[in-house]
Amino acid sequence: MTGASDRSRRVTLMDVARHAGVSRATASLVLRESPLVAEPTRLKVRDAVRELGYVYNRGAASLRMRRSHTVGLVISGLANPFFADFIEGVERELRPAGYVAFLANTFDDPERQGMLIRTLLEHQIDGMLIVAAAGSSAEIGVPPEAVDIPYVLATRPVPGVAASYVGTDNRAGARMAVDHLLGHGARRIAYFGGPEDGAARMERQAAVAERLAESESDLDPAWTVPSPVSTTDGQHVARALVSSSAPPDAVIAHSDAIAFGVMRSLRDAGIEVGTRCRVVGFDDVEQARAWSPSLTSVSVKAATLGGRAAQMLLERIRAPEIPPESLVLEPQLVVRESCGCGRDS
């Protein structure tokens, strides 16, 4: 039980690093076959390993990393049915990999998000998937220097944070919606709802305005009212819109949840959806198919998006040193009744 003699002492990674004249971190990267280390350095470390007879124990290395097989899933608001599909996509990838997700709900509040991220970090998670609260930035809500574990941003990029990201081409989605409505003869098109500081909302609204300008129409500022992503809020804000003297002849809603409320307000005002006012949503949530009229929607492929984000996170957990990646999925317009398809004559 007394200390072993110096000669029989096991060679450590530190010995290898010193012998090769590199840092311990660099030696570790080489042993984990990271592509980040330049070839000459790699060779020096490999030589040191051979000369000292160092044995790299993968099992012990993995134990040292103490993986909990748990990831944090930070969500901006479960009231939006988009997240049911998104989370299902995430879990579908995590499950076969033996990972479990703990969800935390920020209610689109960046301060609360910062607190939740710090709390998750205290609970031994291996990585994080973040749908950032509107208004998040490098300063508020996502403390990048504090997040010392792999993480991926999903659906909403965060200004100033160069992290891995999976999202949708919001501009392309908005253009699809405008073009389809223009094709139906709509000319007074509103872009409606969504969180005030939301990056997705700003991208989509800008693309709608651009496309309308190209067709010599304007996006009336009165028709770009922000709102939280919920049916009740959509219904409430739409009331003022539809009771104006010159209401729009088409509405692109920031999300299906908002579109459901807009459709109800239109109906209550005696404005038939699909003829006098056409409605297109975003997200293509489960209930869009069943609603009356069924909702035409820009599918952002929520489940696929969640699945790809989870894959990217699992890859980062396996190889934290790989540089941030960005994956932007193409949206798809799913045509149903609310745009007027099958109703025009």
- By the rule CB under 8 A, 52 interacts with a copy of itself: no
Give the range of 24-32, 239-247, 289-297, 325-333 binding a copy of itself by CB under 8 A: 289-297
The candidate with the shortest Cα–Cα distance to 193, out of 228, 221, 219, 169, is 228
Structure tokens that stand for 253 in this block: 């809603």
Residues 6+ apart with CB under 8 A from 132: 74, 76, 110, 113, 141, 142, 153, 156, 157, 158
Q: Check residue 235 for interaction with a copy of itself (CB under 8 A).
A: yes
Q: Does 66 bind a copy of itself (CB under 8 A)?
A: no
> In the complex, what is the shortest distance from the CB of residue 293 to a copy of itself, in angstroms, rounded to a whole number?
8
Looking at 123, 244, 319, 344, which residue binds a copy of itself (CB under 8 A)?
123
Output the CA torsion 91→95→99→104 (10° steps).
20
| Chain centre to alpha carbon of residue 51 | 47
Among 193, 198, 291, 311, binds a copy of itself (CB under 8 A): 291
DSSP characters over 81-99: THHHHHHHHHHHHHTTTT-
Shortest Å, Cβ 129 to a copy of itself: 13
* Integer Cα distance of 187 and 28 in angstroms: 62
Stretch that binds a copy of itself, among 59-67, 137-145, 214-222, 226-234 (CB under 8 A): 226-234
Distances (CA, A) of 220 to 155, 234, 246: 27, 18, 11
| Options 51, 214, 286, 330; binder of a copy of itself; rule CB under 8 A | 286
Give the interface segment with a copy of itself, choosing from 17-25, 42-50, 86-94, 276-284 (CB under 8 A).
86-94
Return phi, psi of residue 211, to 5°: -65, -40
Q: Does 230 bind a copy of itself (CB under 8 A)?
A: yes
Q: List the one residue from 116, 161, 199, 219 that touches a copy of itself (CB under 8 A).
A: 116
DSSP 149: S
- Would you say 49 or 310 has its CB closer to a copy of itself? 310
Among residue numbers 143 through 162, which ones bind a copy of itself (CB under 8 A)?
Answer: none
Smallest distance from a copy of itself to CB 338, Å: 11
What is the phi/psi pair of residue 314, to 5°?
-60, -40
| Interacting residues with a copy of itself (CB under 8 A) | 68-70, 78-79, 81, 83-84, 87-88, 91, 100-105, 107, 115-116, 119-120, 122-124, 230-232, 235, 260-261, 263-264, 267, 286-287, 289-292, 294
